[in-house]
Amino acid sequence: MQQRSGSIDASPRPEVVVLNAVSKRFTVRKDTSLKERVVTLGRAGRQHRQDFWALSDVSLKIRAGSTIGLIGHNGSGKSTLLKVIGGIIQPSSGDVRQRGRIAALIELGAGFHPDLSGRENVYLNASVLGLSREETRERFDDIVEFSGVGDFIDTQVKFYSSGMFVRLAFAIAVHTDPDILLVDEVLAVGDEQFQRKCLDKIQEFQKQGRTIIIVSHALDQIEELCDRVVLMHRGRVAYDGLAETAVERFRELLTGESGVGKARPVETRHAAEIERVEVLDVRGKSVGEMRQGDSFRILLTVRSTRPLETWALGFSIDNAMGQLALASNTDLLGIRLPPLDGVRTVEIFVDAAQLNVGSYYVNANVNGISEPSAHALMQGAEFTVRGESASLGSVAALVRIE
């Protein structure tokens, strides 16, 4: 029996958050008392005000199903960035676009009225997050059970402990069926059992393909949960990529600014970085589309910030769902690269790759060996495989039933 093959639409995951050159300015007053403000009003008052740029020219694209970590010093702009993404504050300049229902856990008890009971605040907070009264009624028991505040649900929340506040707030947020969940340091509050419950819920959301953006100082937690981490420094994006590399760079910043190791200045840049990733056809022409089984080349441009005697290079190709389709590196290929000092382009030949139809992303990473260092460029290039297919997955094959 033959089955007619048809084309499969494997479009990439949509962008659910896009920030384009976003900046946020706050005005900080230097006069500290009402008397000083009255005295300075109209008399060089501007000298007592100072602009503080919490965000400066931040551009990000976040696709559906990603778990993004935001890390950085206190005052680096990460919480402001989360509030801008959530629409809680508006940027001074730039453009922010969101797609889907957002649930934000940014300030404990935000949206709660202290004189209302826990029950009344569940309905109030859920309505703010977009649920109808009927939807809240259907989920009410699950919210109370998850929060563990059942005995106090009819008590005014002004008598709640901070742990009860966060448990109820988190329970409401995760039961609103959000497409995007924003979390700011909430996982640091509450007992160990509840923190584990929160982590389990986040991992459940990850399996469901929801988008999660987390601000946390718990770097081990960030490395465990996030597939991508953005390091903020003085209102700007200092790094955007692999969790391990972001945490390493953050620790370099911490070391450099704490005065530790002043005898040997800490480099805040890696010894080498991936600058560019290109996909070329066999003739060396840049391509965005190819057919099943076509050979192609991956051109990687690497720049060293200081000489590297020995180093290694690798690449990976992910499908639209973020699953690994193909990967290799110089170690697997048994290649030793010549010393690196400056800019170098490395051409990788991929012959007859049996990729199924759909969209693919190329990631690249460079690792220093003589000087331990690592840098990755995620989704540095994108291409689409066209054709007809009667199968799913990243591997193209002729499938038939007899």
The three-state DSSP-derived secondary structure of 115-148 is CCEHHHHHHHHHHHCCCCHHHHHHHHHHHHHHHC
pLDDT mean for each 10 residues of the chain (402 residues): 36 82 78 48 52 86 91 87 89 91 71 86 86 91 90 89 81 87 71 77 87 87 87 88 84 61 42 88 88 91 87 86 81 88 92 87 84 77 84 76 78
Q: Is 259 exposed, middle or buried (0-12, 13-18, 19+ CB in 10 A)?
A: exposed
Tell me the CB-side half-sphere exposure of residue 23, using CA atoms within 13 A.
9
* CA–CA dist 227, 79 (Å, integer): 19
pLDDT at 230: 92
Distances (CA, A) of 370 to 245, 312, 367, 375: 17, 10, 9, 15
What is the dotted CATH code of the domain comprising 15-258? 3.40.50.300
Q: What angle do CA 6, 12, 18 make, to 5 degrees?
A: 155
The confidence score (pLDDT) of residue 147 equals 87
Rounded Cα distance between 379 and 376, Å, is 10
The neighbour count for residue 44, using CB atoms within 10 Å, is 9
Q: What angle do CA 37, 55, 242 make, to 5 degrees?
A: 150
- What is the structure's pLDDT at 187? 61
Q: Quick check: 248 and 374 in contact, CB under 8 A?
A: yes
User: What pLDDT does residue 50 have?
Assistant: 67
The predicted model scores a pTM of 0.58
d(CA 273, CA 374): 8
**H or E stretch including 102?**
strand 102-105
Tokens of 220: 């081990």
CA 261/CA 103 separation, integer angstroms: 42
Determine the Cα–Cα distance for residues 314 and 161; give it in Å rounded to an integer.
50
Burial (CB count <10 Å: 0-12, 13-18, 19+), residue 222:
buried
Q: Residue 322 has what pLDDT?
A: 67
- Which DSSP state fits 388? -
Kindly list the domain boundaries of the chain, sorted by start residue: 15-258, 272-386
Fold of 272-386: Coagulation Factor XIII; Chain A, domain 1 (2.70.50)
151, HSE (Cβ side, Cα atoms, 13 Å): 2
| pLDDT recorded at residue 218 | 81
Q: Identify the pLDDT of residue 387.
A: 81
